[in-house]
A and B are shown apart, each in its own frame.
Chain A
Amino acid sequence: MSFRKLGLGLAAATMLAGMALPAFAQDSVYVPLFTYRTGPFAGSGTHIADGMHDYLRMLNERDGGIGGVKLALEECETGYDTKKGVECYESVKGKNPVIVNPWSTGITLPLIPRASVDKIPILSMAYGLSASARGDIFPWVFNPPATYWDGLSMIVKYIGEKEGGLEKLKGKKIGFLHLDAAFGKEPIPLLQEMAKDIGFEVALYPVAAQDMQNQSSQWLSARRDRPDYMIMWGWGSMNGAAVKEAVRSGYPMDKFYSVWWPGEDDARAGGAGAKGFKMLNWHAVGTNFPAIQDIQKHVVDKGLSKAQKDKVGELLYNRGVYNSLLIAEGIAQAQKVTGKKVVTGEDVRRGMENIKLDPARLKELGLEGFTDQLVLSCSDHNGHRAAFMQEWDGTKWVKISKPIEPMTDRVKGQLEAAAKDYADKNAGWPKRSEACDKAS
């Protein structure tokens, strides 16, 4: 090989390496956004991706970033596929991300052991491993504002109150329609434990990813079993198809509850018959907040967003905004506790442990009344905040309950046991060595 060819080869290799690892300016912090705008789960993922991106982009456009530091945003398409999600993680970790949000329980699980090694905090907002709420065992993982187990306990509590008390659930049958994947199975141990304690029966209806749009068997089985209530843990096109099938099979919609993932499109899929369908939520829908109006002004109206204008302010869009609110607040707090402008993953981990989104702070951020307050700490990476029940009235979600606190007494023991079990099963799981800030 001639030196000329060798030289050309080296130049090409250097150029390719440069393309693979784009340099982010030293005066910015790199925030990768794992999203899925393609594949079977895109129906949910697209709106969340838009909300996540647009809030952070708005901070760049309106304020020049956070604390005078621009955010370098980059999306990585996972397709809600665990393998691709891990590939995304591997491709971004060399660029010094300050936080990673996998947006899939399946992707979160393999990233948990890597987080402490790579010093990259993981934000799995109200999804992922419930036990990772324990900051003393999982210092690098955050799953606010409530775990799946909190969510399940809130639904059971609400149903119990409707019946006149939890004890009245004795002898009742609760159906659990879930995606047959890590996410959908996550609350089953708690459901079975509660069934044993309270005395209700559980009927499980798993929906395989390939049958998300072919659920007639599950709803036929529901007709056979006659569950008094149906609780859904679904995602992507499963939610809309489930609402449709529930209507088709004549299941009473006022007895059909879901965890916090269906969006307006999913409820609309059921037509007029979907009226009465209920789900948990912890934040507002709509655009009547200064921060969201700023998104419209600085991002959407300027053509810097991929979102359809009419989707801004819808439930899943605002969920994405909430996710980015946590990212932004983690960075802002990191700047505050370290005194640095350009923070690292280690700093943001500290920042997340110092999050205190009280009403005054929410007002300052232009999100007064958007959500309940959230305080995280060294030991509590979740907050275990209350959610409320909302009902589909045929055209929109209507809030129908006061905040429902999770049944901490029931969840706490399980959560601690699960966290300990995780650490025991993963030989060599490191003891927390990260110091706690006094503030947290």
Chain B
Amino acid sequence: MDMLYKVFIEPFVFMGEAPDLLIQTLWEGLVSGVLYALIALGFVLIFKASGVFNFAQGIMVVFAALTLVGLYEKGVPAFLALILAVLVMLVLAIVVERVVLRPLVNQPDIILFMATFGLTYFLIGFGELIFGGNPKEMITDALFLPQGTTELDMLGGMVRFQHLDIAAAVIASIMIGLLAVFFSKTRIGRALRAVADSHKAALSVGISLNQIWVIVWFAAGIVALVAGIMWGARSGVSFSLQIIALKALPVLILGGFTSIPGAIIGGLIIGVGEKIGEFYWGPLVGGGVETWLAYVIALLFLLYRPQGLFGEKIIERI
């Protein structure tokens, strides 16, 4: 009986007693969720265009952020380093298309998936060779990323809003919005959607698959750079960031592998869900539920919507 009370009643009583902490938890969840969504977006872009689940998206986040910080540490001015980091991601996209994707055209999806595994380990080794394994501090002041905290007295308590978190949420939202407009309103975006629907049909109307792949890998690279800057500013840039990127997996299961809105909504549900779960129910099992709760939430969704919230319903004739 006591356990039932602790599971079903006590957390809600506590939410009512300390609404400021509820708001704080929701805010932390939203910020994490937006960042998860940003990482998931990189996966979605590539999956939509090529049907490949890009396992290397996590290390691309680290690689992009390390490139930026590494150049800055070498004395390159911050904004020039930012531009150069974008160019490095463009070069990476071209190299991936030429060296990895093009030779594997018409191979089963699992082969391409395994190729992204290879790419992951290559980028880890290459990154460590160039930048070393030490964690680095993300540039903040020079990129005009705000620091500091606003403390608001509300609901009988206090809620802290980090300026950096607010900036992360705003920048990520703008980024997501721009990508949504780019892929729905522009010619390239329409071409991408055509490729996503059918490679053969797209080829027959003169759309270059190779060009599209470079564009989506480059877009995923930019998304990785933004995600790397934001996560890096919060907690430093190190190779362990790539593990956080795997949190995008339940986000994708939830939102669907092909849906940009799905990545956003999925990210927010996972972000808020895991923070609420850890904060209110974690103590019942000694804490640490955040590590697996996201996957449980995703699994529950899978039971009812295998294609995810916004994914395309798969109908296969057998």
Contacts and interface: CB of A to CB of B under 8 A. Distances in A.
B243 A209 contact: yes
Contact of B235 (A46, A221, A223, A245): A245
Interface string A3-44: 000000000000000000000000000000000111110110
A43 B31 CA distance: 26
B239 interface: yes
Contacts of B149: 248, 250
A408 interface: no
B239 A42 contact: yes
Interface stretch (A109-117, A200-208, A419-427): A200-208
Contacts of B124: 38
Interface residues of chain B: helix, strand, loop or mixed (majority): helix
Contacts of A206: 286-288
Given A43-B134, A250-B160, A224 B240 contact: no
Interface residues of chain A: helix, strand, loop or mixed (majority): helix
A259 B137 CA distance: 23
A240 B239 contact: no
A236 interface: yes
Interface residues of B, number: 41
B133 A212 contact: no
B239 A213 contact: no
Nearest to B246: A210
A263 to B, nearest CB: 10
B306 interface: no
A288 interface: no
B312 interface: no
B162 A248 contact: yes
B236 A237 contact: yes
Interface residues of A, number: 42
Interface stretch (B100-108, B109-117, B254-262, B273-281): B273-281
Interface in B24-60: 24-25, 28, 31-32
Given A210-B243, A244-B235, 15 more contacts: A40-B243, A42-B134, A42-B238, A180-B288, A204-B286, A204-B287, A208-B290, A213-B235, A214-B244, A214-B247, A216-B32, A217-B278, A223-B21, A237-B235, A237-B238
Interface of B: 18, 21, 24-25, 28, 31-32, 124, 128, 132-135, 137, 147, 149, 160, 162, 231, 234-236, 238-241, 243-244, 246-247, 274-275, 278-279, 282-283, 286-288, 290-291
